[in-house]
Chain A
Amino acid sequence: MAFAVEFVSPESSLYSGEATQVVARTRGGGEIAFLTGHEPFIGSLLASEVRVTESSGTVASFAVRSGFVSVTGTSVTVLSDEASLVSDIDLEEAKADLAEAEAALKTDEDDKFAAQDKQWAELKLSLAAQSD
C-alpha cells in the first residue's frame, strides 16, 4: 500500500509523490526503512542517501545534507535545507566545493563548517559515481 512522500526544502518542494518504501539514515539509528503504517516517528538525518521506492517500483535516490524525517502512519515528510536528486548532482560544482572545503581545513583544522562542507561534497561525489 502506498503512502504520500514529500521532500520539503526552504526554497521549494523538491519532490512529492506516492511511495511504498522510504529508506533513510538517522543519527544514532543507522538505516531505517518506512513502510505504510509505521509508527509516528521523527528522526534527525545524517548526510546520506534517501531512497524512495515509488508505487511503480522505480527508485528515486536523493542526496540529503542534513534534515529531519517526520513519519505518520500515512505520510513521510523529509525536511532538508539542502538536498538534491542524485541524478541532478552537478559534479563540477561538487568538486569545486570539495576543493574549497579542503583549502579551508588546511588553514584552520577546527573549522567545523568546512568539515561539514567537505563531507557533503564527498557524499555527493560518491553517490553520483554510483549512479553512473
Chain B
Amino acid sequence: MPGGAERILRRRIGSVKNTKKITRAMELIAATRVARAQQRAKAARPYAEQLTGVIEDLAAAGADVSHPLLRQAEKVENVAFVVCAGDRGLAGGYNSGVIRSAEAEIQALRADGGNYKIIAVGRKVNDYFKYRGFDIEKDFSGFTDNPTYENAREIARSVRDLFDAGEVDQVELIYTQFISMGTQEPTVRRFLPLESTESIAESGGGNAEAVAGYSFEPSPEGVLEDLLPRYVEARLFAALLDAAASEHANRQRAMKAATENAEDLIVKLSREMNRARQESITTEIMEIVSGAESLNDDQAVTRLDLILDHLHPEHLIAEHAHQ
C-alpha cells in the first residue's frame, strides 16, 4: 500500500516529539529543584552547626550522661534500616542504587543471624521490599522530593520509639549522599546509638568558639538530654535534604539522556520517513509512466488497425488490379 509506511512513521515521529517535550520539561524542572534542594540544605546548616557547637561546649564542660540514645548494645542482634529513596521513578539508577545497598546490608545481617526492621522512606522503597516479601516496620511517603523538618521529626520519632523500647540495638541510615552535581553516592551511615558527645565534638563542624566557663540551665546533663533528640532529628533532616537533592540531580541526568535519545530517534525516523516517501513517489512515477506507456501501446494498436482498415489490402489491391 503506497504511503502506508510513511504515515506510520510520521505518527511515530509525532509521538517521539511529544515524549521529547515532556522529558525536556522534566529535565528543566529537576534542574531548578536541585538548586532549591541545595539551597535548603544550605539553610539548614547553621542550625546543625549551632547544635553541634552546643554539644562541643557540653563536652568541654565534661557532661556525658547515660542517655538512651547513647546506649551501646553489647551484642548487636536487631538492626533497623531507615532506607531513604524516592516516591517516583524516572530518575535513572537513583532508587535502585539505594535499594541495592539496603538489600545487601539486610542479607549480610541475616547471614549473621540478626533480625532486621525496615523503615521505608519513599514509595519506591516500600513497593520494592513489600513485593519481595520483606517485613516493613513503617513506611513514609509523599515528601521525598521536598522534605520538611516535620517529616524528619516524624521519622525520627518512630526510630527513637523502636530504639528506646529496646526493639532494635542499632539503626542504620541508608540514603544517597549529594557530593556534587555530577556525583551522588548511596551511603550507609550508623544512625543510632549516637557516638559519645566527645566524638561528636571531635568530628567538629560546630562553630563554637570554645568559650570556657558556660553555665548551663537546668544542668549540662539536662541540656544534653534535651539536645540529643534534636540532634538526631537534625541529622535525619540533613540526610533527607541530601537525598532530595540527589533525586533531582539523578532525574535531571536521566531526563537529559532521554531527551537526547529522543532527538536521535527523531533524526533516524525522519530519514526513514523521507526514504519511504521517496520510494512511494518513485513507485507512483513508475506507475504513471508504465500506465501512460501501456495507454500509448493501446492507442498505437488501434491506430494501426485503423490504418490497416483504410489501407485494406483488397481495396488497394483491387484498385491496383483495375489499373
Contact = CB atoms under 8 A, between A and B. Distances in A.
B211 A41 contact: no
Contact of A27 (B53, B217, B230): B217
Interface string A26-51: 11110010000001111110000000
B87 interface: no
Chain A: interface size category:
20 to 34
A70 interface: yes
Chain B: interface size category:
20 to 34
A27 B214 contact: no
A118 to B, nearest CB: 15
A32 B237 CA distance: 31
Nearest to B214: A40
Given A10-B47, A26-B218, A40-B213, A68 B54 contact: yes
A70 B213 CA distance: 13
Contacts of B44: 10-11
A70 B53 contact: yes
B239 to A, nearest CB: 12
Given A9-B47, A13-B43, A113-B157, A39 B215 contact: yes
Contacts of B46: 8, 13
B218 A81 contact: no
A61 interface: no
Given A27-B222, A41-B216, A81-B47, 9 more contacts: A10-B237, A11-B148, A11-B149, A27-B218, A27-B226, A28-B218, A42-B57, A44-B222, A68-B54
14 contacts: A10-B47, A11-B43, A27-B217, A27-B226, A28-B218, A29-B218, A40-B214, A41-B214, A41-B216, A44-B218, A68-B223, A68-B230, A79-B50, A79-B54
